[in-house]
Amino acid sequence: MKLVIVLVGLSVTVMVAMIYLAVDQEFKLHDLKARIVESYAEVRMKEESIVELKTKDKAMRSELVSVNTKVDELKKRKEESVQSAQDLTKALQTCTTDMDNVQKKKASTGEAIVKVKADHEVAKNNAEGDIQKLKKQILDRDNAICVFANTTIVEARKLCGIPEAPQQS
């Protein structure tokens, strides 16, 4: 009987140990399942954040392309503006040079006009002096002729400026 008791005791002990191991294994499995669920949730969240980051990356890349296009366009406009400014500067210099040349021509033309007017005035004064001399010579000649002219003739009196004598009727 002792053997039966020992065998029952040993069986109960083995059974308790087996129950303990089974319960322990169940707890470990339950804990492992909980960790798997948590890990799955974390993986899912990380996948979602990766997808979100990829979407943001794609959006930023497309925005970067448009910004680069705008930068290139602005660089092109800047180059055109610089070229236009250089062209306008050259045109301004040309206009300034032309204006200086025109002003020099105007000044020289004005001086020439003043000189021509002065020469004209001198020539006019000389001509007036010559005219006065000629008038005096003509008057002196006429007076010399009038001395010898017959004042009884009407034409001679008119030429000499002698008034007509009143006619007696």
pLDDT in tens, 122-158: 999 999 999 999 999 988 887 777 777 777 877 777 7
- Please enumerate in sequence order all residues whose Cβ is within 8 A of that of 160, keeping only pairs 6 or more positions apart, or say none: 142, 145, 146, 149, 151
Q: Are 157 and 151 in contact (CB under 8 A)?
A: yes
- Percent above pLDDT 90 for the chain: 77
pLDDT tens-digit map of 14-52: 999 999 999 999 999 999 999 999 999 999 999 999 999
Question: What is the DSSP secondary-structure string of 73-141?
Answer: HHHHHHHHHHHHHHHHHHHHHHHHHHHHHHHHHHHHHHHHHHHHHHHHHHHHHHHHHHHHHHHHHHHHH
Does the pTM of the predicted model rise above 0.85? no
Q: For residue 166, is pLDDT > 60?
A: no
pLDDT tens-digit map of 2-13: 888 999 999 999
> What is the model's pLDDT at position 155?
78
Residue 126 to residue 128: CA distance in whole angstroms:
5
